[in-house]
Amino acid sequence: PLRQAWWRESSVYQIYPASFKSAKSIDDGTGHIHGDLRGVIEKLDYLETLGVDIVWLSPILQSPQVDMGYDISDYRAIYPGYGTMEDHEDLISGLHARGMKYVMDLVVNHTSDQHEWFKQSRSSKDNPYRDWYIWRPPRYDAETGERMPPNNWESNFFGPAWTFDEATGEYYLHLFASGQPDLNWDNPKVVEAVHSLMRFWLDKGVDGFRMDVINFISKEPGLPDAEVTRPGFLQDGVEHFACGPRLHEHLHGIGEILREYDAFSVGEMPGVFDTREIIKAVGQDRGELAMAFQFEIVNLDHAPGQIKWYPHKFQPKALKHIVAKWQSFMLQNGGWNAVYLENHDQGRAISRFADDSDQYRSKSAKLLAAHQALQSGTIFLYQGQELAQINVPESWGLDQYKDIEVLNHWKTVLEEFPDDLEKQAMFRRQYRLIGRDNARTPMQWTADERTFAGFLARDAPEGATPWMSIHPDFKTWNAVNQLEDPHSALHYWRRLLKLRKEFKHVFVYGDFEMLDLDHESVIAYLRVDDREEETGQKTHEPRRRPTCLVITNFSRDEIDWVVPPRAVDVLFDESESDPEPRLKKGAVLDEFRNYTAQEDGE
Ligand code: TEU
């Protein structure tokens, strides 16, 4: 059986510091202003009201910001654009004073090319840091004699995953931007350095880590060419670095430190869709991580084969099958899910998986919230998700996009398809659907125009603007309005998070059963209290285990779906007829575990 743990019962709120709240009006060097740590501190009461237990901040350490801080140049210093070490300490104590925990982003598959380790490493072949990164001599084309990268891997941000460095005449590996060289985890000194910086922050009161692309840290020896599956030289090498041969040895080393501090952990694990692979990292007896982000759901609207920028229509039924698979597998095998629909790398869920029109937007937000928040696993909520924020407007020009991934991709499109306007339009539609910028517009706190929806400080200099355009819908869609309206997405999230706490044996530890797998648009599942029937009862009838049925209709139409007759008591429904939605007394539903729609003949 699943062991109880505080982190299973917690919900996590992710903050993207650049876009959350500015307090200090710090100029980013281009005359624009981004969020900062003091801004987060100002909003701690808001987070407490929402009812989240853990706050995770995307990277806030020293960085040249090639990839919004996922390129760290000093692991022991706060990026001055976000504040000072003192601000950071105040943030930690502010959270702790409210009974919340603080999770830091640990980005250790790669560093920035501005990190001192890399500067040393690139300086000469016999520098002691040379082997901290992955260097290889060039290959030469047999026919043309042209210098070629050591293998055919493509970077996640397009172009080769290798950059040639004149100083020593070799290439270094970077699975992301050239400013993000991959560390060589086969070097024990690297492992030691990571352990030491983890302890540095844990000793300062950090409660755990979200670990960036942690399943990429062990590469297959020899760094073999990727199988050729598409035209051109560059190929997806993921099979040679996702879950490589020494991954679990390294995760175990990390796990030992985590256990010592009773710290939280969630590993980001792209490129692996097999439950049996992920559970090796998150099984409760493995001593590695607590949970992992898998990518099957957020890839649902990419073309099969997972090529991100080719469209694929989202099907609720496909979502249902994926959820059923991960929920049941992890509960039955002592694993644990990190349940998320949004983060800083994804389009907004309402725009991708539901309907972001005025008519359906609020309903969509609540539909997705109920679907997500009542599952088993630790629930992750991304800033603005609770406000029903949606993707950037159609009117946006490419100059309003800031993200290196989209901008690099667009360059390749213009090179590869200079005259194909249809292809170009298709990719631009995809940017608006799944581009990372969609999640990075500033938080919408108020309807105030001058401070850009309350994102800027009230005393911000005249004419100051946020680093990224704000969504023009902020006059209607903002935290102030949502707090006033009991039917808002925000209050709905509050009720759901509260419900999880009140009935943790149902929603956290309870069994999971997906119903009606064949239905195209209804996703309905049962959560059943995990506790055994009480013994010593005189009656023959077994005590019914408290059960909750979660029904969501992912279509715009009314649907006939017969609710089991014994489901007599409604926790709360979103028909919006109830003037003051609240948890109702005696809310636990009767058991109808064996019910299926078919059995009732309807
Ligand atoms: O993302 C890793 C990742 O695989 C993708 O989600 C990535 O965002 C990209 O879209 C691939 O198509 C993590 C971070 O979350 C991301 O912000 C960083 O850019 C990346 O690692 C590199 O550190």
What pLDDT digit, counting tens, does each position of 512-524 carry?
A: 999 999 999 999 9
Q: How many CB atoms lie within 10 A of CB 57?
A: 22
Q: What is the H or E stretch that residue 281 is in?
A: helix 275-282
Portion of the chain with pLDDT greater than 70, in percent: 91
Question: Does the active-site annotation cover 268?
Answer: yes
Ligand 1 atom nearest residue 270's Cα:
4
Ligand 1 atom nearest residue 175's Cα:
22
Quick one: tokens of 599? 């059995």
- What does each C-alpha distance from 270 to 76, 310, 346, 401 come to in angstroms? 27, 18, 13, 24
What would the mean pLDDT of 306-316 be, rounded to a whole number?
Answer: 88
Residue tagged active-site, from 71, 236, 268, 405: 268
The owner of tokens 């100059």 is 399
- Taking Cα atoms as reference points, which of 49, 52, 50, 60 lies closest to residue 91? 60
Under the banding of pLDDT at 50, 70 and 90, the label for residue 267 is very high
Q: How far is the CA of 213 from the centre of ligand 1 (A)?
A: 7
DSSP state of 146: -
Whole-number pLDDT of residue 305:
66
79, 17 contact by CB (below 8 A):
no
Q: Measure the CA–CA gap between 331 and 284, rounded to whole angstroms.
A: 11
309, 352 contact by CB (below 8 A):
no
Pocket test for ligand 1, best of 68, 210, 213, 238 (most atoms within 8 A of CB): 213
348, 342 contact by CB (below 8 A):
yes
Whole-number pLDDT of residue 543:
57
Q: How far is the CA of 517 from the centre of ligand 1 (A)?
A: 32
Whole-number pLDDT of residue 540:
54
Q: How many CB atoms lie within 10 A of CB 164?
A: 15
Q: Which pLDDT tens digit goes with each residue over 419-478? A: 999 999 999 999 999 999 999 999 999 999 999 999 999 999 999 999 999 999 999 999
Domains and CATH numbers, the chain: 11-114+182-484 (3.20.20.80)
Q: Is the CB of 156 under 6 A from ligand 1?
A: yes
Q: What is the H or E stretch that residue 77 is in?
A: strand 74-78
Give the closest residue (by CA) to ligand 1 atom 14: 212
What would the mean pLDDT of 107-128 be, rounded to a whole number?
Answer: 98
Q: How many CB atoms lie within 10 A of CB 518?
A: 9
Helix axes 489-502, 361-373, angle to 10 degrees: 20
C-alpha 143 chain-centroid distance? 45
Instruction: Give the 3-state secondary structure of residue 95.
Output: helix
91, 37 contact by CB (below 8 A):
yes
Q: How far is the CA of 345 from the centre of ligand 1 (A)?
A: 6
More confident residue, 28 or 206: 206
Under the banding of pLDDT at 50, 70 and 90, the label for residue 217 is very high
Order of strands, sheet of 547-553, starting from the edge strand that comes earlier in the sequence: 511-515, 522-528, 547-553
Q: How far is the CA of 67 from the centre of ligand 1 (A)?
A: 9
Whole-number pLDDT of residue 570:
54
Q: Is the CB of 403 under 6 A from ligand 1?
A: no
Pairing of strands 547-553, 522-528: antiparallel
Whole-number pLDDT of residue 541:
54
Q: Is the CB of 271 under 6 A from ligand 1?
A: no
Quick one: tokens of 566? 């014994």
For 379-405, give the DSSP string: EEEETTGGGT--PPPTT--GGG---HH
Phi, psi of 282 (to 5 degrees): -125, 0
Cβ-count burial 194-210 (b if 16+ within 10 Å, e if not): beebbeebbeeebbbbb
Whole-number pLDDT of residue 594:
35
15, 57 contact by CB (below 8 A):
yes
Helix axes 247-261, 275-282, angle to 10 degrees: 40
Q: Which pLDDT tens digit goes with each residue over 138-154? A: 999 999 999 999 999 99
Residue 98 identity (one-letter amino acid): R
Pocket test for ligand 1, best of 156, 183, 238, 266 (most atoms within 8 A of CB): 156
- What does each C-alpha distance from 201 to 118, 297, 490 come to in angstroms? 22, 32, 32
Whole-number pLDDT of residue 568:
45
Instruction: Give the 3-state secondary structure of residue 98.
Output: coil
Q: Which pLDDT tens digit goes with each residue over 487-497? A: 999 999 999 99
Does 592 score more than 70 pLDDT?
no
What would the mean pLDDT of 275-301 be, rounded to a whole number?
Answer: 97
Ligand 1 atom nearest residue 71's Cα:
23
Whole-number pLDDT of residue 549:
86
Does 595 score more than 50 pLDDT?
no
Under the banding of pLDDT at 50, 70 and 90, the label for residue 591 is very low
Ligand 1 atom nearest residue 176's Cα:
22
What would the mean pLDDT of 280-291 be, rounded to a whole number?
Answer: 98
Quick one: tokens of 376? 């088993």
Residues forming beta bridges with residue 210, ordered by sequence position: 105, 266
Q: How far is the CA of 320 from the centre of ligand 1 (A)?
A: 25
Whole-number pLDDT of residue 30:
84
Q: How far is the CA of 157 from the centre of ligand 1 (A)?
A: 9
Q: Measure the CA–CA gap between 580 and 223, rounded to whole angstroms.
A: 60
Pairing of strands 547-553, 307-311: unpaired
Question: Does the active-site annotation cover 473?
Answer: no
More confident residue, 548 or 573: 548
What would the mean pLDDT of 117-133 be, rounded to a whole number?
Answer: 98
Residue tagged active-site, from 53, 71, 212, 513: 212
Q: How far is the CA of 142 from the centre of ligand 1 (A)?
A: 35
Portion of the chain with pLDDT greater than 90, in percent: 86
- Listed range (24-33, 244-253, 351-360, 469-478) with the worst mean pLDDT: 24-33
**Greatest CA separation found in the chain?**
87
Does 156 score more than 70 pLDDT?
yes
Predicted complex ipTM exceeds 0.95: yes
398, 572 contact by CB (below 8 A):
no
C-alpha 592 chain-centroid distance? 34
Q: Is the CB of 213 under 6 A from ligand 1?
A: yes
Whole-number pLDDT of residue 542:
54
Pocket test for ligand 1, best of 217, 238, 345 (most atoms within 8 A of CB): 345
Under the banding of pLDDT at 50, 70 and 90, the label for residue 561 is confident
The model carries a pTM of 0.94
440, 17 contact by CB (below 8 A):
no
Quick one: tokens of 358? 């005025």
Residue 38 identity (one-letter amino acid): R
